[in-house]
Structure 1
């Protein structure tokens, strides 16, 4: 649902000092792509459910409609996830899906 953000090597090193288990790999010198799933999980969203919408219990990148959730419900959850990741890590997640 979300793209994996790309950070400068310096930004990644700063985050790695604060969060030693951060997951990332080099993509283009000197940039590091980090795992959105790791960011989302660290914010406590993995397995989250509110009503008919939630975050998958095993793969936090997957947002789930458990029955009667609306597109607006999914959009709201994704916005809440993006906000919490920004508040904790200072990283803006970008939706990979197309909103119609």
Structure 2
């Protein structure tokens, strides 16, 4: 089964809540990722949060602002699903 990401919510401490199609919510900690290679540009917290989105059915950063699925930084949804801890929805995101 392919795990599809429906929504992502970035935080001020380089974490991202990832909402999967099956109802699970995972928490990805990007604090180590942003120290490596092309991801270093995401150390700017405003860029990290403002470009964080869903592209290619997974967590991605749309650095061009064009929502181009070929021109983004995205992560493997299966890896995210299998390696990130399950969490409950954060209270501050409930409206």
TM-score after normalising by structure 1 = 0.29
Q: Comparing both structures, which one devotes a greater share of its residues to strand?
A: 2
Normalized per residue, which structure has more helix?
1
State the TM-score, normalized to the length of structure 2. Answer: 0.30
